[in-house]
Structure 1
Amino acid sequence: MLKKIALYITALLPSVALAQTPEAFTINGKLNTVKQPYRVYLVYQQGQARQVDSTTLVDGTFQFAGKINNPTSALMVLDHRGVGFSGISKTDDVLNLYLEKGDMYIAATDSVSKAKITGSEINRDNEELNTLLAPLYARAERIYTEVQAASPEQRQSNVYQNTMQDKFKAIQLEREKFLKEYILGHPYSYLSLMAVSSMGGPSADANVIEPLYNSLSQKLKDSPQGQQLKASFAALKATAIGAVAPNFTQNDVDGKPVSLSSFKGKYVLIDFWASWCGPCRQENPNVVRVFNKFKDRNFTVLGVSLDRPDGKAAWLKAIKDDGLTWTHVSDLKFWNNEAAALYFVQSIPQNFLIGPDGKIVAKNLRGGDLEMTLLKVLSAPQKAGKGE
């Protein structure tokens, strides 16, 4: 979760084929006190491919040139240690920046991570936004350090895990508040478009992000990236809270078909996970605890695994090892899992709580939030007749 909070804003727009004309960019850099011929790397995404360009400092100067379809996030790394790109770590001299058409300039004394970027409107906006978010980054880093220093016993404690998750969630909510204010105050900034796409994480609420999108300038909304974001709203609305949960059928561990609709009349948590997913496995003890607490109160779990085509043995082993005694299904298509596509699942773990009427009650419930939500909905008076 820390990485989602602490990393600078990146585009999370769906990949669709739109005609775009590549535009040229140039980066001119100068490190005033560096005389060694260090290697500099520039890493960015171009379509579906990752680009890794490099050059050598000559008396502290360097230059990159290329073409991009649209403004895109990038990393610049100065290899002081001479280890090559494969040896670079997150503690090295790294600069987060954006590439956009035209010429930009990078100047510093001896480190790209401390460089000043000029000639780029989007990088100017990014510096302003990062200044606003810096206190949140610092808080998140302190919490992460605390987690790293915790004993194995503490880390396995449900109370400790829920406490840490609550702390991270509070920071994430504050981050979204800052982003919302920034978007509304900067309707012409391309960074605002990228910030809208990042709001709400992997299962954003269209009712929240669509009004923010509508607040942007017409130029941003008409851009290829704006149109891609707009196109994603239909899928997000299909899995919004209050919507009827899309039905699906997949085979269980014995190869027998199981439909979501067969659980109608119960509260069911659709839990998207996989045996290879570390965060999923870490969350499993919490789901087990909640399942055992509420399984006799009209509640169950339906696990949907995104394991690979050759991963059935690993899937079954994870079910056994983690004590997951509820129903499990999968088409073993990895990220092409058809149920995951219906629910616009782009990262895991992810879950959706479905009510007895088949409508989505809540989603992305972690730690104590899952238990508190179930306590609330299972304690609420049930309406007679056909229900809501």
Structure 2
Amino acid sequence: MKKFLPVAVVLLTLMSFTVIEGIGEYKISGTIDSSFNGKYMYLKESAHIGNMTTIDSALITKGKFTFKGISETPKECFLVIEGKEQEGSVILYTEEGNITVNVNKDTLFNSIVTGTFNNDVMHKFNKLSNEIGKLEKTFIDKNMGEFNKAEVESDTATINRVIEEHQNMIKENNRKYIAFIEENTNALVTIKAFVRLFSDQDKKSSDIKPLFDKLSAQVKETNLGKKMAEHLTKMAEIETAQAKVAINKIAPDFSAPTPKGKILSLKEVMGKVTIIDFWASWCGPCRKENPKVVAMYNELHDKGLNIVSVSLDQDKTKWKEAIKADELTWYQVSNLKGWGEPIAKEYGINGIPATFILDASGKIVAKNLRGEELKAKVKELLAQ
């Protein structure tokens, strides 16, 4: 036993040294079009979005470049070509192993990075994203002309059909992203797939949170992972608020300043039919919709239609200018807190324009109707 202990200690020491020495050592072997010979390729990292720091550089020679370094934990980095900084970058993960980069000189995003776990999974993710991107483009090319024409003609049936078809396509595409997430819970790039899931308007935090919980701690600790956790928390808060303003619920009363500084409450302005309209001076779709709402209000106000608009503006001058320019003669209120508007939070608003249609009792009978659909609903309620 006495003879064995010193030998064991030496073996353990050697084993420890061997493991530690190789931890995080990476080699990046890149190829690029020879027209870039003589330029530098920069390896950069980003602690914050839009703030990249150069950690290494390599001269491009005979269409090749090489980096060597140590990254104790996998880290997202970027390859940027000298003089081409505005044209984007090649994303890769610095991690232990031999990383191969084949730079696409025309579209840097389509460069191929392989050789280590996170880079191989990223390559799969990029292929999936490209595949889905082509499906999106095909759909838009096929339907956008018809959709734009329908908007001009206020053809809500066509608008709704195209939107529904698009959402159905998004749901099908999201099933592919969900499968990818479940197969790659330890890969850093997987967190990026979550961003795509939010394009499905029907997705709830309760749908996404169980997927997020499956991710490894390392993925959750990335900057995007932390932002995703925060977003899911906010999402849950919005959904809780939205449940309180569902169809057939009584609209919560609220009070806020008018442009002249007077405090106005919802209960003061209730009509036979009342529309609560969330908008802002900077919201293009809101401003585009305003002329139709003005025409409807002018026609139906004397019959019992009232409108109260809640603005998500922060600049009082711009708010007042937009009211005047768009000839909005109905009730206007705002706390001028942007997306922090307390009324918007209470009503679970996560996008504008947003509308709630109330009957004479203050019950919410419809939401987010536009154009002729909105006018038809208002007329139906006024006739009751």
TM-score range, shorter chain: 0.5 to 0.7
SS of alignment partner, residue 220 of structure 1:
coil
Distance in 2 (alpha carbons) for counterparts of 1:64 and 1:161: 60
Kept in 2: contact 1:41–1:78 (CA 8 A): no
1:159 to 140, 153, 156: 153
After TM superposition, give the deviation of residue 321 of structure 1 in Å: 1.1
SS of alignment partner, residue 321 of structure 2:
helix
SS of alignment partner, residue 313 of structure 2:
coil
Count matched residues: 332
After TM superposition, give the deviation of residue 351 of structure 1 in Å: 0.7
SS of alignment partner, residue 239 of structure 1:
helix
Aligned twin of 2:380: 379
The amino acid across from 2:334 in the alignment is S
* 1:283 matches 2:289: yes
The amino acid across from 1:117 in the alignment is V
2:343 to 336, 339, 342: 339
The 5-angstrom pairing of residues 1-388 of structure 1 reads: 28=28, 30-34=30-34, 35-37=37-39, 46=48, 50-54=50-54, 58-59=59-60, 60-61=64-65, 78=81, 82=83, 88=86, 92=87, 94=88, 105-111=100-106, 112-118=108-114, 119=116, 120=118, 121-140=121-140, 158-159=152-153, 169-170=163-164, 172-183=166-177, 185-186=179-180, 188=182, 189=184, 199=197, 208-210=203-205, 212-213=207-208, 216=211, 218-220=213-215, 223=220, 225=225, 227-232=229-234, 233-240=236-243, 241-242=246-247, 244-264=250-270, 266-292=272-298, 294-295=300-301, 298-308=304-314, 311-347=315-351, 349-356=352-359, 357-365=361-369, 369-376=370-377, 378-379=379-380
Kept in 1: contact 2:311–2:332 (CA 8 A): yes
Query: CA 1:270 to 1:177, structure 2 compared with 1: closer, same or farther past 3 Å?
Result: same
Distance in 2 (alpha carbons) for counterparts of 1:337 and 1:37: 51
Query: CA 1:134 to 1:63, structure 2 compared with 1: closer, same or farther past 3 Å?
Result: farther
Return 5+ residue gaps in structure 2 as ranges: 1-23
SS of alignment partner, residue 285 of structure 1:
helix
Distance in 1 (alpha carbons) for counterparts of 2:209 and 2:382: 38
Question: Between Structure 1 and Structure 2, whose CA radius of gyration is higher?
Answer: 2
Kept in 1: contact 2:277–2:308 (CA 8 A): yes
SS of alignment partner, residue 354 of structure 2:
strand
Return 5+ residue gaps in structure 1 as ranges: 1-23, 384-388
Kept in 2: contact 1:132–1:178 (CA 8 A): no
Give a deviation string over 1:270-303, Cα, whole Å, max 9, x none.
3333223444333333433444455456544322
Kept in 1: contact 2:238–2:349 (CA 8 A): no
Aligned twin of 1:3: none
Of the structure 1 ranges 56-65 and 29-38, higher mean CA displacement relative to structure 2 is found in 56-65
The amino acid across from 1:110 in the alignment is K
Aligned twin of 1:8: none
After TM superposition, give the deviation of residue 334 of structure 1 in Å: 3.3
SS of alignment partner, residue 110 of structure 1:
coil
Of the structure 1 ranges 165-174 and 114-123, higher mean CA displacement relative to structure 2 is found in 165-174
The amino acid across from 2:326 in the alignment is D
The amino acid across from 2:170 in the alignment is E
Query: CA 1:221 to 1:160, structure 2 compared with 1: closer, same or farther past 3 Å?
Result: farther
- Higher relative contact order, structure no. (Cα contacts within 8 Å, ≥ 6 residues apart): 1
Kept in 2: contact 1:307–1:332 (CA 8 A): yes
TM-score by length of 2: 0.64
SS of alignment partner, residue 214 of structure 2:
helix
SS of alignment partner, residue 325 of structure 2:
helix
TM-score by length of 1: 0.63
Query: CA 1:345 to 1:211, structure 2 compared with 1: closer, same or farther past 3 Å?
Result: closer
Of the structure 1 ranges 336-345 and 250-259, higher mean CA displacement relative to structure 2 is found in 336-345
Distance in 1 (alpha carbons) for counterparts of 2:230 and 2:240: 15
Give a deviation string over 1:356-383, Cα, whole Å, max 9, x none.
2545555455xxx453255247537999
Query: CA 1:281 to 1:379, structure 2 compared with 1: closer, same or farther past 3 Å?
Result: closer
After TM superposition, give the deviation of residue 30 of structure 1 in Å: 2.3
After TM superposition, give the deviation of residue 129 of structure 1 in Å: 3.9
In terms of fraction of residues, the more helix-rich structure is: 2
Query: CA 1:213 to 1:281, structure 2 compared with 1: closer, same or farther past 3 Å?
Result: same
After TM superposition, give the deviation of residue 131 of structure 1 in Å: 0.7
RMSD: 4.8
